[in-house]
Amino acid sequence: MDGLEAAPAPPQLPPGSIVDQTRPPSVIASHVDITYRVFGTGSGPEVDPQDDAGIFRRLATRSRSGVGVREVHAVRDVSFVAYRGESIGLIGRNGSGKSTLLRSIAGLVPPTGGQIWIDGRAALLGVGAVLLPKMTGRQNIHIGCLAQGFTPAQVEEVIDEIVEFADIGPFIDLPMNTYSTGMAARLRFAISTAAVPEILVIDEALATGDSAFKDKAQERIETFQAQAGTVFMVSHSRSSIEKMCDRVLWIDEGRVLADGEPEPVFGLYNRKYGKHRQVWRQRFEEAKEIELNEGPEAATEFLDRWDRRARRGPQRS
């Protein structure tokens, strides 16, 4: 994945894909499939990631199920072309495959089918980025920068700026396992944006951190966009996506359901899930209450009952 010139064959895109001959593409995904093999989680049938009650039930009864291998088909036949200067938001329900697709664009998860062409370096910035918990923040900066291709002399040149940007005070010399979530997110952000990658992949990174840091992070991303890089971001915050993205991919059950400007795509998304989400949120609140008062089995039973009713459909409920 060194560059578009090195691509072995022209990608095959489905009809209707957004293709713009006038701009240089930075990422081409062609019929990408990603399947995880999960060991030791029970040999039952594949859990539908959209089936909230099914997942809850499985978690509640996990200790009773046997050990086996299960396949989770997280991304299914995804194709798109991304261009330099674009900021693309990925939206979709929990478990729909957004993070998996992002990690694949960043080169961390290889597709099990299809291909991804990347023109330049892609860096993942997010809550999942690996830092070493027993090492101090400063040591992690060294390691993180070396991993991004800095020489030791270059690390020395940028380290003060990274420390200043992360702005976590004396914690910079304490082990990372003493950090709050927000502090760790700040440090990750500062490290992964020290070298400006051509493709910046952000997984909910802005969800953590206080508002002053969010502003700083946003400013840095805007600088990066102005340098004609491509940004991909996953966020459950509609306002973050609307503020920062000019294009949205809606991923549903691993597939791209819509690809276009934020407003119409959010419109379609809300039409499908707006009401459903509200109802489920309410049910989970009720289940939490039941769990607190009557225990987990009663809560599972309540969700099962609701799940059966939801499956029968509104006409019979």
List residues near ligand ATP by CB under 6 A.
36, 38, 49, 72, 74, 92, 94-100
Question: What's the closest the beta carbon of residue 108 comes to ligand ATP, in angstroms?
Answer: 10
User: Collapsing DSSP states into helix, strand and coil, what is residue 134?
Assistant: coil
Concatenating the DSSP letter of every residue in 147-213 gives HTT--HHHHHHHHHHHHHHH--GGGGGSBGGGS-HHHHHHHHHHHHTTS--SEEEEESGGGSS-HHH
Q: Which of 34, 48, 41, 33 is nearest to 66 (CA)?
A: 41
**Are the C-beta atoms of 232 and 84 separated by less than 8 Å?**
no
Name the phi and psi angles at 121, rounded to 5. Answer: -100, 135
Specify the residue, 78 or 183, whose C-beta has the smaller distance to ligand ATP: 78
Question: What's the closest the beta carbon of residue 294 comes to ligand ATP, in angstroms?
Answer: 28
**Are the C-beta atoms of 317 and 310 separated by less than 8 Å?**
yes
Specify the residue, 72 or 257, whose C-beta has the smaller distance to ligand ATP: 72
**Per-residue b or e along 58-93, where b marks 16 or more CB atoms closer than 10 Å to that residue's CB:** eebeeeeeeeeebebebbbebbbbbbbbbbbbbbbb
Question: What's the closest the beta carbon of residue 38 comes to ligand ATP, in angstroms?
Answer: 5
Name the phi and psi angles at 314, rounded to 5. Answer: -65, -30
Specify the residue, 38 or 146, whose C-beta has the smaller distance to ligand ATP: 38
Specify the residue, 73 or 214, whose C-beta has the smaller distance to ligand ATP: 73
CA trace torsion 298, 303, 309, 310 (10° rounding): 170
Specify the residue, 220 or 238, whose C-beta has the smaller distance to ligand ATP: 238
Specify the residue, 25 or 49, whose C-beta has the smaller distance to ligand ATP: 49
Strands 113-118 and 25-39: antiparallel
Q: Distances from the Cα of 8 to the Cαs of 115, 117, 192, in angstroms? A: 10, 10, 30
- Measure the CA angle with vertex 220, ends 148 and 21; round to 5°: 80
Specify the residue, 100 or 230, whose C-beta has the smaller distance to ligand ATP: 100
Question: What's the closest the beta carbon of residue 104 comes to ligand ATP, in angstroms?
Answer: 9
Specify the residue, 38 or 132, whose C-beta has the smaller distance to ligand ATP: 38
